[in-house]
Structure formats: C-alpha cells, structure tokens
Amino acid sequence: MSIKRNILLNPGPATTTDTVKMAQVVPDICPREKEFGDILAQMQSDLVKIVHGSTEEYTAVLFCGSGTINMDICLNSLLPENKIILIINNGAYSARAAEICHYYNLPHINMKVPVDEIPKLEAIEEILSSTPDIHIVYTTHNETGTGLLNPIREIGALAHKYNCIFVVDTTSTYAMLPIDIEKDNIDFCMASAQKGLMAMTGLSFVIGKIKLIEQSKSYPKRSYYCNLYLQYEYFIKTGQMHFTPPVQTVYATKQAIEEYFLEGEDEKFSRHKSVNEAIYNGLKELGFKEFIKRELQSGLISSAIYPDDENWDFEKIHDYCYERGFTIYPGKISNTNTFRLCSLGAIDVMDIEAFFAVLKKALEHYNVAVPVKYNEVIQ
C-alpha cells in the first residue's frame, strides 16, 4: 500500500514512517488481555531507557490523551496540601501550566520571564530561598512556541538545593535531544507519542521517580481521571491502564520505539540538527529573521518573523505549501507575528530543500518581495 507522504513542519504530530503507520493495522484485541499488558510493560521500561533512567528508580506512567494531560497530571497530583508550585514561565507552554494551576486552585508563583530570554538562576534562587513552602519547581525544556531552550540541569540543581521536586515539560525534546534524567536533575518529565518518538496521537506518558510517586499517595486527589498515583498503582496491581488505552496508537508507538533504538540517540539528534540547520539556511536565504537568538535555540524549532510586506498573508502561503505536501504553522507569541518550522519527525535535509523551493514559489506567486523585507532592523 502506498500512503501519501506529507512533510509536517508543525510542532507535532510529526511525519511518521510507513512502518509506524502500518503498525496500527492489527487484529482486534481487548486491551485487558495479558498480551497487551506485556506490550505496555515493555514500553514503560523502554520509555525510561530513552532518558537513561534506571527502571528500579524511575517508571513511566501511561495515559490516554494528548501531551497536555501530562502537565495537568503532574501539577495536580504532586502537590501536598499547603505547598506551592513555582512555574518558571518564558513561553506559551509554561503559561499553560500556570493556567492549569489556576483552574485547580493550586497555590503557585508564576515567575514570568521574557519569551526570548532564559531565566536568571539568581532570580530563581531568590524566590526559592524566600519561599520555603515551594514543593514543585516546574518549567518547559524547549518552549515549543518559540524554540527557546531552557537550562534545565541548572534549574533542577537549584530545585534540589531547596528540597523541591523538579518537573520538566520535555514534550518537545524527549527522544529528539539527548536527556539524562538523573544528570539533568529531573524528577519528572513527560512527552507524548506523536512528537519525538514519531508515532501517533493519543498516548502520553510521565516518567518519574518511583519514590516520589509513592509519596504522592497521601496528597490531595484533585482529579479522578488524571491522577498520577492512581494510574501508577492500577498498573502495578493489574498490568493494565486504568481506563481504555488508545490501542492502535500503542502498537504504532511500539514500532516507533524499535525504530528509535535502531536509528540511535546521537544519530537521531544529528539528523534533527541538520534538518534545523537546513531550515536556518533556507530562511536566511529568503531573508527571513528569526525571533530567538540562535545561541538560545533548542535546534529543533525555528520561529520566523512575518515580513513587512503588504502582500504577505500567512494563510495563503500556508495553503500554497499545504497543497504541495508541506505543513507550516503559526507561532505562539502574543506581541510578534511568527511562523514556525520544526525539525521533528521522519524527515531529512532533502525534504527541507524541497520545502524551500516550494516556499520560494509561494512568495513569488503572491508577489512577496524576495529577499523578504522588514521595516525595522532586527538584530
């Protein structure tokens, strides 16, 4: 069977291999069967292995949902009564975490940092040293809205210095950028199958310290469906997820994990980096400016600023590219219009070259000046 190959440059779901797509076509099975539970158990340990954790110390807890479910779960499940969460917020995803705290009425400090800057460690330490009730320090590894990479190892070390647990949203770095859960001082990280793993949507997972999950047994239960301890405990008792899992996505993820280990962590990271490099060069050639300074970028996402050209219309450019098999995506910054080109997925430099040929044609088609113009000089 031949399946049309689309190049997704949006920040997930990603372009997948045909073998991952086809892995979903399996005989019908009830996910309460032991055969299915065995797949989940193997997956849990593989997911820990991807971030180099020991399965004696860390586990992966699986959930049916998109990546946001992980954020919800970690925030609502890991906070003891009368304790506070510190959100280090320099982008749309950490802002979402603060919003989750708000909806659950979780006491939190929303430490806002400009979206094009990394947080200052002294400023974090000042808050930690003056607020002894902080229990969770939370941030986002790669702010997917912009492509800014946060210094998690250093933030994690500070969190531990003040006896806090460190929760990191690694949804847009997991299985793309090498992570060492222990060395990076991570107590909990998270991702979903459709991003770095290049599988399908619907399966998400929190990877964290078993000891801390067990401690959370006595914490207030603020959600029935989205509680970390309850899901963890249910799997230990039964070998199953508590509620119906996304069966076909699990099969696709199993295949994707096999392909991940076959490609290799360093090789995969190099591929994403060369794709990002090709994106950077392609943008530069057309005159586009990037929003985030190159040295602060994760190397996985480029945010290009809309040109100052009356003929520029993102929707039209998007549609032109989309019709030719390339998906581009708007940015997530409130005061600057940007679009994003991401290097996740089963794509390579050749795909990016093909994309830029199409993007150039799109600009010419709509009479956008090339190289693109800006009124102000942006550094």
CB 51, min distance to ligand PLP, A: 15
Nearer to ligand PLP, 144 or 343 (CB): 144
Residue 304's nearest CA partner among 275, 284, 324 is: 284
Phi, psi of 9 (to 5 degrees): -105, 10
Which pair of tokens denotes residue 214?
């067990």
Nearer to ligand PLP, 97 or 247 (CB): 97
Interface residue list for ligand PLP (CB under 6 A): 11-12, 66-68, 93, 140, 144, 169, 171-172, 192
Spatial separation of the C-alpha atoms in residues 105 and 100, rounded to whole Å: 8
Helical packing angle, 265-285 and 349-365, nearest 10°: 20
> Can you give the length of the chain in residues?
379
Q: What does DSSP say about strands 84-89 and 134-140: parallel, antiparallel, or unpaired? A: parallel
CB 63, min distance to ligand PLP, A: 11
Spatial separation of the C-alpha atoms in residues 23 and 18, rounded to whole Å: 8
Spatial separation of the C-alpha atoms in residues 268 and 266, rounded to whole Å: 5
CB 68, min distance to ligand PLP, A: 3
Is 368:301 a contact under the CB 8 Å cutoff? no
Is 200:252 a contact under the CB 8 Å cutoff? yes
Q: How many CB atoms are located within 10 Å of the residue 299 CB?
A: 21
CB 33, min distance to ligand PLP, A: 28
Look-up of token digits 């708007």:
330
For residue 189, the SS3 value is: strand
Residue 212's nearest CA partner among 78, 96, 65, 80 is: 78
CB 170, min distance to ligand PLP, A: 8
CB 100, min distance to ligand PLP, A: 11
Nearer to ligand PLP, 143 or 368 (CB): 143
Residue nearest ligand PLP by beta-carbon distance: 67
Nearer to ligand PLP, 307 or 345 (CB): 345
Nearer to ligand PLP, 138 or 251 (CB): 138
User: H or E element: which one contains 85?
Assistant: strand 84-89
DSSP 312-344: --HHHHHHHHHHTTEE-EE---SSS-EEEEE--
CB 192, min distance to ligand PLP, A: 6
CB 146, min distance to ligand PLP, A: 11
Is 195:8 a contact under the CB 8 Å cutoff? no
Nearer to ligand PLP, 269 or 356 (CB): 269
